[in-house]
């Protein structure tokens, strides 16, 4: 379909800004594997500190890229299925809020005033612009939900007895999850952290802030993931040359995500104090509720691929795997999606480990964790994002994809890199290698007393994987920006692959309405989270003052910081049996 | 239900069975080990680092994390001891990880974390800070020395 210049331009900017920032994000990803493996024993390179780079890597890759993309992809999906464009003023308003927020936070991070990582746990204090920027980015990304909800209500009035298109349902579910979960982080940032960072409030309740963060933080991963799910359900079967096995299965999976995405955040806090075991256990079990839509999806997608393979003449039990269009440059999205799906098998399985209370004790905060989530967020999420960005840009602009044969091998190269990287990280985690640590200065420095030789092979594997991923990333930048720089060959249109359903079940009203699901969502949320918030408010004592990353004294009493080097205080040794 | 394919019914049943197995395992492990941190209300007494011997085989450690060290930095105990760790922080969030014993706690300002662990083999057990806590994070390690001859 033809769309207005304004909508095209909006989508181009919403893809172009985060992908340009991604260059910084990927650079710091590579740098971390270099620091960690002890190839260099430095605290900074090219004026950028390890932890500053780690903050940039997390914020850009996991928050900026994913939210901008979800909004751009949502606009494209809504316009395509409703054959109607979202309100321009509102859409551009959201864009400017998000961009301003991103610029504020980027300034704070690049200036070295917000090296607090993307979880920004207090009482480590960042520059107020970091918190303000995060809040603007998030609020800006809420706005499209209301824009699309209006379009949906209008469409529904005209089509009361027609099933809502699956992709539309998915986009709405995703942004409802996003809206609900970000209320908590907006409260954390605007009510707890910003006044405290400005010095208007003396202290902050750290556990309450962490609990609010993880109310948001785990739902965030589904917000990353659902655009990829929408592509898996509504595009992958078509790209494979087949049909979606069941349309209803997709709807059920999406509504289950609505129920189970948010009330599970405490499973990130199994090791935290002040939260009772019962709350942790309950949310741990709810986390396994998310396994249900995942299993439904695994089956439905495998069945859809089998159907496609058999149509292409596949025989035997698993023969269909050999008959899929893995390397077809004209269907490159298939390569990106199937690669992401493959990584997600391992991402999902390691996730089940993390959600199990006792097993989490083995791996919490070790290198295992980045090993796990690079197979989810840097798996189906990232591959879906970059594949779809190239696809959307090239079709909307009417330009041919630059280097199409390279484009189709990028995801496979990425898979190889991630598998090696995540294997190294997971192995390291199982033998105690911490995450988020500049290991090269101490633990991976042979001349340092803390040198830990066990972590040499694990960090070397992560380095190898990191190099391969970076090469794949570079090739993607060449393809994406190369496409941007090439000449228009046809008129740009908005076209998305659409899978027909093999079993196109008749409309069941329960799976085509939001109300009962939203009510259930609210009930589960209250049952899961009210006790957690009571614990977090009641059990801790005093709040904490502000600390900067380079000074053990709180900000109020800080002497002027003259040197930035670390001088550990004399160690106190106590003998128990004296 | 007629809307469901036969293979879909089968896969739902498999999913149900698998989930039951997972949940049973979690509940079983909880009953058997139950080593998630215990929830204690804050008490100022825990903010002074010390090691207390309750009897021959039972010790209490008040461990205090701060930028960028643990106190006590070395803890000597005889083999076979059961140790209660009470962990807190004087400043930012720190980690308290003894990976060989699956001790995995967050040290948080104004909060007390607690776990109990038995050291039944002699050796040196490293306590590693595994939460980013500022520029000196990578220097933050302490140790538990089990059955150190110097301790007698």
Give me the DSSP letters along A409-466: HHHHHHHHHHHHHHHHHHHHHHTT-BSS--GGGTTT-TTSTT--TTHHHHHHHHHHHH
Q: Look at B78 and A505 and tell me if their CB atoms are within 8 Å.
A: no
How many whole angstroms separate alpha carbon A574 and alpha carbon A571?
A: 10
Which pLDDT does position B1 carry in this prediction? 46
Find the residue in A nearest to B130 (Cα): A434
How many angstroms away from the CA of B122 is the closest CA of chain A? 16
Residues with Cβ within 8 Å of residue A484, at least 6 apart in sequence: A16, A393, A397, A399
Active site residue A578: no
Q: Look at B95 and A434 and tell me if their CB atoms are within 8 Å.
A: yes
The arithmetic mean of pLDDT across residues A521-533, rounded, is: 94
Q: Look at A277 and B59 and tell me if their CB atoms are within 8 Å.
A: no
pLDDT tens track for A36-86: 999 999 999 888 999 999 999 999 999 999 999 999 999 999 999 999 999
When CB atoms are compared, the residue of A274, A299, A442 closest to B39 is A274
Q: Is the pLDDT of residue A577 over 50?
A: no
Question: Are A451 and A389 spatial neighbours (Cβ–Cβ below 8 Å)?
Answer: no
Which pLDDT does position B49 carry in this prediction? 95
| Cis-peptide into B72, omega within 30 deg | yes
Q: Is the pLDDT of residue A532 over 70?
A: yes
Determine how β-strand A501-503 pairs with β-strand A244-246: parallel
pLDDT band at B32 (very low <50, low <70, confident <90, very high): confident
Active site residue A372: yes
Active site residue A373: yes
Q: Is the pLDDT of residue A557 over 80?
A: no
How many whole angstroms separate alpha carbon A474 and alpha carbon A494?
A: 27
Q: Phi and psi at residue B62, in whole multiples of 5°? A: -95, 105
Q: Is A198 exposed, middle or buried (0-12, 13-18, 19+ CB in 10 A)?
A: exposed
Q: Is the pLDDT of residue B97 over 70?
A: yes
Residues with Cβ within 8 Å of residue A403, at least 6 apart in sequence: A478, A479, A482
pLDDT tens track for A400-412: 999 999 999 999 9
How many angstroms away from the CA of B65 is the closest CA of chain A? 11
Which pLDDT does position A562 carry in this prediction? 47
Which range, of A13-22, A84-93, A351-360, averages the lowest pLDDT? A351-360
Task: Tell me the sheet residues that pair with B114.
Answer: B38, B86
How many angstroms away from the CA of A506 is the closest CA of chain B? 8
Question: Which residue is it, tokens 């930028």?
Answer: B67
Q: Give the residue from B44, B29, B12 showing the smallest Cα distance to B109.
A: B44
The beta strand positions in A46-128, using DSSP E, are 48-49
Q: Is the pLDDT of residue A267 over 60?
A: yes
Q: Is the pLDDT of residue A456 over 90?
A: yes
How many whole angstroms separate alpha carbon A321 and alpha carbon A319?
A: 5
Kindly list the residues from chain A whose CB atom is less than 8 angstroms away from the CB atom of residue B113: 271-273
Q: Give the residue from A571, A553, A496 showing the smallest Cα distance to A236.
A: A496
How many whole angstroms separate alpha carbon A172 and alpha carbon A148?
A: 8
Kindly list the residues from chain B whose CB atom is less than 8 angstroms away from the CB atom of residue A275: 39
pLDDT tens track for A159-193: 988 999 999 999 999 999 999 999 999 999 999 99
Which pLDDT does position A573 carry in this prediction? 44
Q: How far apart are the first and last CA of chain B?
A: 73
Kindly list the residues from chain B whose CB atom is less than 8 angstroms away from the CB atom of residue A357: 26, 29-30, 36
How many whole angstroms separate alpha carbon A463 and alpha carbon A574?
A: 39
Which pLDDT does position A423 carry in this prediction? 97
B110: left (phi over 0), alpha (psi -120 to 50) or beta: left
Q: Which of A257, A435, A511, A546 is catalytic?
A: A435
When CB atoms are compared, the residue of A432, A450, A539 closest to B111 is A539
Asked if A44 has any chain B CB less than 8 Å from its own CB, the reply is: no
Q: Is A460 exposed, middle or buried (0-12, 13-18, 19+ CB in 10 A)?
A: middle
When CB atoms are compared, the residue of B29, B109, B113 closest to A206 is B109
Residues with Cβ within 8 Å of residue A227, at least 6 apart in sequence: A69, A70, A73, A74, A170, A171, A174, A381, A384, A385, A388
Question: Are A199 and A193 spatial neighbours (Cβ–Cβ below 8 Å)?
Answer: no
Q: Is the pLDDT of residue B4 over 80?
A: no
The beta strand positions in A43-130, using DSSP E, are 44-45, 48-49
Active site residue A218: yes
Q: Which 3 state secondary structure label does DSSP give B105?
A: strand
| Mean model confidence pLDDT for chain B | 90
Q: Is the pLDDT of residue B146 over 70?
A: yes
CA A150, chain centre distance (Å): 27
The arithmetic mean of pLDDT across residues A494-508, rounded, is: 91
Kindly list the residues from chain B whose CB atom is less than 8 angstroms away from the CB atom of residue A544: 91, 109-110
pLDDT tens track for A192-213: 999 999 999 999 999 999 999 9
User: A265 to each of A177, A181, A211, B63, B97, how far by Cα in Å?
Assistant: 13, 10, 8, 27, 22
Find the residue in B nearest to A577 (Cα): B151
Which pLDDT does position A561 carry in this prediction? 46
Q: Look at B134 and A288 and tell me if their CB atoms are within 8 Å.
A: no
Long-range contacts of B31-35 (CB under 8 A, 24+ apart): B33/A358, B34/A277, B35/A358, B35/A361, B35/B102, B35/B115, B35/B116, B35/B117
Which range, of A316-320, A520-524, A535-539, averages the lowest pLDDT? A316-320
Cβ atoms < 10 Å from Cβ of B124: 11
Two tokens at A32?
Answer: 């971390």
When CB atoms are compared, the residue of A123, A508, A549 closest to B135 is A549
Task: Tell the CATH superfamily of the B38-151 domain.
Answer: Cupredoxins -  blue copper proteins (2.60.40.420)
Determine how β-strand B123-128 pairs with β-strand B50-55: unpaired
pLDDT tens track for B39-57: 888 989 999 999 999 998 9
Q: Look at B104 and A432 and tell me if their CB atoms are within 8 Å.
A: no
Q: Is the pLDDT of residue A563 over 60?
A: no
Cα-trace Rg, chain B: 21
Which range, of A224-233, A282-291, A550-559, B10-19, averages the lowest pLDDT? A550-559
Task: Tell me the sheet residues that pair with A503.
Answer: A246
Which pLDDT does position A92 carry in this prediction? 96
Helix (H) or strand (E) holding B86: strand B81-89
Q: Which of A50, A95, A222, A346 is catalytic?
A: A222
Q: Give the residue from A563, A537, A398, A544 showing the smallest Cα distance to A2.
A: A398
How many angstroms away from the CA of A43 is the closest CA of chain B? 8
Q: Is the pLDDT of residue A375 over 80?
A: yes
Which range, of A226-235, A500-509, A521-530, B46-55, averages the lowest pLDDT? A500-509
User: B15 to each of A351, A355, B76, how far by Cα in Å?
Assistant: 16, 17, 49
| Mean model confidence pLDDT for chain A | 92
Q: How far apart are the first and last CA of chain A?
A: 82
Kindly list the residues from chain A whose CB atom is less than 8 angstroms away from the CB atom of residue B3: 248, 503, 505-506, 508
Asked if A557 has any chain B CB less than 8 Å from its own CB, the reply is: no
Active site residue A268: no
What b/e string do you get for A361-388 counting C-beta neighbours within 10 Å, with b at 16 or more? bbbbbbbbbbbbbbbbbbbbbbbbbbbb
pLDDT band at B2 (very low <50, low <70, confident <90, very high): low
Q: Which of A28, A57, A127, A372 is catalytic?
A: A372
Q: Look at A574 and B136 and tell me if their CB atoms are within 8 Å.
A: no
Q: Is the pLDDT of residue A16 over 50?
A: yes
Which pLDDT does position A570 carry in this prediction? 47
When CB atoms are compared, the residue of B41, B59, B103 closest to A576 is B59
Which pLDDT does position A381 carry in this prediction? 96
Q: Look at B5 and A503 and tell me if their CB atoms are within 8 Å.
A: yes
Q: Look at B110 and A205 and tell me if their CB atoms are within 8 Å.
A: yes
Q: Is the pLDDT of residue B102 over 60?
A: yes
- Please state the ipTM of this predicted complex: 0.93
User: A188 to each of A132, A134, A137, how far by Cα in Å?
Assistant: 11, 11, 15
User: A79 to each of A8, A144, A170, B107, how far by Cα in Å?
Assistant: 11, 12, 14, 49
Kindly list the residues from chain A whose CB atom is less than 8 angstroms away from the CB atom of residue B105: 271, 273
When CB atoms are compared, the residue of A245, A548, A576 closest to B75 is A576
Which pLDDT does position A578 carry in this prediction? 35
Which pLDDT does position B48 carry in this prediction? 93
Q: Which 3 state secondary structure label does DSSP give B90?
A: coil
Q: Look at A206 and B99 and tell me if their CB atoms are within 8 Å.
A: no
Tell me which of B111, B112, B113, B129 to substitute to probe the interface with A (most A C-beta atoms closer than 10 Å). Answer: B111
Question: Are A507 and A163 spatial neighbours (Cβ–Cβ below 8 Å)?
Answer: yes
What is the dihedral angle through the alpha carbons of A216, A222, A227, A228, rounded to the nearest 10 degrees?
A: 150
Helix (H) or strand (E) holding A306: helix A291-311
pLDDT band at B149 (very low <50, low <70, confident <90, very high): low
Two tokens at A89?
Answer: 């003023």
Asked if A502 has any chain B CB less than 8 Å from its own CB, the reply is: no
Question: Are A358 and B33 spatial neighbours (Cβ–Cβ below 8 Å)?
Answer: yes
Tell me which of A58, A293, A434, A535 to substitute to probe the interface with B (most B C-beta atoms closer than 10 Å). Answer: A434
How many whole angstroms separate alpha carbon A390 and alpha carbon A461?
A: 30
Angle of CA points A236, A234, A337, to nearest 5°: 30
Per cent of chain A over pLDDT 90 is: 86
When CB atoms are compared, the residue of A366, A508, A544 closest to B109 is A544
Ordered by start, the domain boundaries in chain A are: 5-555
Per cent of chain A over pLDDT 70 is: 96
How many whole angstroms separate alpha carbon A223 and alpha carbon A226?
A: 6
Ordered by start, the domain boundaries in chain B are: 1-34, 38-151
Q: Which 3 state secondary structure label does DSSP give B69?
A: strand
Q: Which of A251, A267, A374, A546 is catalytic?
A: A374
When CB atoms are compared, the residue of B68, B87, B138 closest to A439 is B138
Fold of A5-555: Cytochrome C Oxidase; Chain A (1.20.210)
Q: Look at B76 and A575 and tell me if their CB atoms are within 8 Å.
A: yes
Q: What DSSP character marks residue A165?
A: P
Q: Is the pLDDT of residue A289 over 90?
A: no
Q: Look at B66 and A552 and tell me if their CB atoms are within 8 Å.
A: yes
Which pLDDT does position A316 carry in this prediction? 84
Q: Which of A127, A218, A251, A268 is catalytic?
A: A218
**C-alpha count within 13 angstroms, C-beta hemisphere, residue A561:** 15
Find the residue in A nearest to B134 (Cα): A549
């Amino acid at each position: 379909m033809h769309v207005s210049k304004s909508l095209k331009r909006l989508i181009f900017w919403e893809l172009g800004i985060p992908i340009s920032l991604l260059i910084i994000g990927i650079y710091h990803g590579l740098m971390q594997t270099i620091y960690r493996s002890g190839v260099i024993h430095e605290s900074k390179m090219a004026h950028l500190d390890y932890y500053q780079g780690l903050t940039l890597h997390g914020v850009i890759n996991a928050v900026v890229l994913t939210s901008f993309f979800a909004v751009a992809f949502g606009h494209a999906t809504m316009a395509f299925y409703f054959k109607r464009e979202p309100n321009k003023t509102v859409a551009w308003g959201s864009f400017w809020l998000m961009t301003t927020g991103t610029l504020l936070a980027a300034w704070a991070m690049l200036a070295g005033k917000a090296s607090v990582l993307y979880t920004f746990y207090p009482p480590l204090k960042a520059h107020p612009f970091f918190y303000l920027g995060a809040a603007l980015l998030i609020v800006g990304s809420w706005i499209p939900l209301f824009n699309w909800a209006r379009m949906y209500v209008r469409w529904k009035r005209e089509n009361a007895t027609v099933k809502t298109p699956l992709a539309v349902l998915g986009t709405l579910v995703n942004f409802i999850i996003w809206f609900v979960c970000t209320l908590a982080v907006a409260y954390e940032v605007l009510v707890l952290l910003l006044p405290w960072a400005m010095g208007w409030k003396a202290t902050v309740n750290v556990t309450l802030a962490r609990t609010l963060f993880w109310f948001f933080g785990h739902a965030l991963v589904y917000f990353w993931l659902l655009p990829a799910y929408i592509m898996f359900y509504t595009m992958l079967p078509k790209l494979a040359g087949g049909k979606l096995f069941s349309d209803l299965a997709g709807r059920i999976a999406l509504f289950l995500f609505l129920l189970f995405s948010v009330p599970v955040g405490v499973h990130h806090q199994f090791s935290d104090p002040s939260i009772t075991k019962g709350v942790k256990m309950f949310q741990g079990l709810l986390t396994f509720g998310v396994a249900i839509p995942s299993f439904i999806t695994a089956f439905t997608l495998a069945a859809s691929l089998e159907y496609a393979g058999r149509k292409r003449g596949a025989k035997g039990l698993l023969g269909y795997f050999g008959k899929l269009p893995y390397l077809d440059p004209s269907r490159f999205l298939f390569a990106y999606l199937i690669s992401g799906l493959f990584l997600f098998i391992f991402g999902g399985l390691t996730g089940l480990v993390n959600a199990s209370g006792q097993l989490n004790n083995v791996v919490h905060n070790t290198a295992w964790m980045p090993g796990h989530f690079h197979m989810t967020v840097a798996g189906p999420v990232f591959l879906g994002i970059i594949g779809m960005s190239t696809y959307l840009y090239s079709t909307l602009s009417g330009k041919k994809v630059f280097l199409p044969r390279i484009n189709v091998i990028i995801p496979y190269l990425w898979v190889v890199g991630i598998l090696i990287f995540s294997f190294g990280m997971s192995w390291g985690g199982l033998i105690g290698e911490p995450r988020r640590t500049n290991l090269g200065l101490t633990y991976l420095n042979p001349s340092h007393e803390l040198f830990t030789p066990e972590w040499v092979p694990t960090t070397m594997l992560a380095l190898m994987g990191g190099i391969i991923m970076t090469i794949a990333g570079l090739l993607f930048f060449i393809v994406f920006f190369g496409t941007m720089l090439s000449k228009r060959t046809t008129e740009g249109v908005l076209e998305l692959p659409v899978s027909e359903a093999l079993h196109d079940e008749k409309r069941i009203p329960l799976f085509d309405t939001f109300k009962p699901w939203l009510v259930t969502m609210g009930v589960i949320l209250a049952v899961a989270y009210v006790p957690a918030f009571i614990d977090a408010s009641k059990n801790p004592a005093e709040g904490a003052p502000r600390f900067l990353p380079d000074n053990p004294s709180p900000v109020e009493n800080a002497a002027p910081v003259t040197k930035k080097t670390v001088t550990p205080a004399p160690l106190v040794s106590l003998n128990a049996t004296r | 239900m007629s809307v469901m394919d036969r293979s879909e019914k089968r896969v739902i049943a498999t999913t149900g069975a698998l989930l039951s197995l997972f949940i049973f395992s979690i509940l079983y492990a909880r009953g058997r080990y139950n080593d998630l941190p215990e929830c204690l209300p804050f008490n100022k007494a825990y903010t002074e680092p010390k090691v207390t011997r309750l009897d021959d085989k039972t010790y209490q450690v008040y461990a205090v994390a701060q930028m960028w060290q643990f106190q006590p930095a070395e803890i000597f105990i005889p083999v076979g001891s059961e140790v209660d760790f009470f962990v807190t922080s004087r400043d930012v969030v720190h980690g308290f990880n003894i990976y060989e014993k699956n001790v995995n706690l967050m040290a948080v300002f104004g909060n007390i974390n607690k776990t109990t662990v038995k050291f039944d083999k002699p050796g040196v057990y490293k306590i590693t800070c595994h939460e980013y806590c500022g520029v000196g994070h990578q220097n933050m390690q302490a140790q538990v020395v089990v059955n150190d001859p110097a301790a007698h």
